[in-house]
């Protein structure tokens, strides 16, 4: 379904390629953070972002992340499928 799911930044990997490692639904995967943050407010470890097809689309706060995760948990298969697809991702 190409959902947008909350993930927490756990490591900044490559500033040039704009890659970071995020923890999403219990899985750690590389994502692109080129669409979020800027020089004044760069993305940092611990930040929560909304992730869509391997790209962070928006920075969100932890409360919003929690609410969204709860809502996603209720939608069942579509969310499970999204996490299953994400597990196969290997962004470099």
Partner 1 sequence: MKFVTEFRDADLARAVAANIAEIAAPGRHYKIMEVCGGHTHTIYRHGIKDLLPENVELVHGPGCPVCVLPMGRVDDGIAIAQRSDVIFTCFGDMLRVPGSKGTLLEIKALGADVRMVYSPLDALRLARENPDRDVVFYAIGFETTAPSTALTLQRAKREGLHNFYVFCNHVTIVPPVRALLDSPDLRLDAFIGPGHVSTVIGCRPYEFMSADYGKPVVVAGFEPLDLMQAILMLMRQLAEGRCTVECQYNRVVPWEGNQAALRSISEVFELRPYFEWRGLGFIAQSALRLSHAYADFDAEIRFDVEGVRVADPKACQCGEVLKGVLKPWECKVFGTTCTPEHPLGALMVSSEGACAAYHNFGRKTFAVTGAMR
Interface with partner 1 by CB under 8 A: which residues?
Answer: 1-4, 17, 32, 34-36, 38, 50, 52-55, 57-58, 60-61, 64, 67-68, 70-71, 74-75, 77-78, 81, 85-86, 88-92
Smallest gap, in angstroms, from Cβ of residue 23 to partner 1?
16
Smallest gap, in angstroms, from Cβ of residue 45 to partner 1?
20
Only one residue has tokens 């939608």, namely 75
- Decide whether 46 or 74 has the Cβ nearer to partner 1: 74
Smallest gap, in angstroms, from Cβ of residue 86 to partner 1?
5
- Decide whether 11 or 14 has the Cβ nearer to partner 1: 14
- Sequence-distant (≥ 6) Cβ neighbours of residue 44 within 8 angstroms: 9, 12
Smallest gap, in angstroms, from Cβ of residue 57 to partner 1?
5
Strands (E), 1-64: 5-14, 19-24, 27-32, 48-52, 55-60
C-alpha distance from residue 64 to each of 1, 5, 13, 32, 49 (Å): 21, 11, 25, 21, 10
């Amino acid at each position: 379904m190409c959902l947008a799911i909350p993930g927490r930044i756990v490591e900044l990997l490559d500033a040039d390629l704009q890659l970071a490692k995020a923890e999403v639904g219990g899985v750690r995967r590389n994502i692109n953070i080129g669409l979020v943050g800027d020089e004044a407010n760069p993305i940092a470890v611990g930040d929560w972002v909304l992730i869509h097809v391997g790209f962070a689309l928006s920075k969100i706060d932890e409360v919003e992340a929690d609410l969204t995760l709860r809502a996603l948990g209720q939608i069942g298969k579509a969310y499970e499928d999204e996490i299953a697809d994400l597990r196969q991702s290997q962004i470099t």
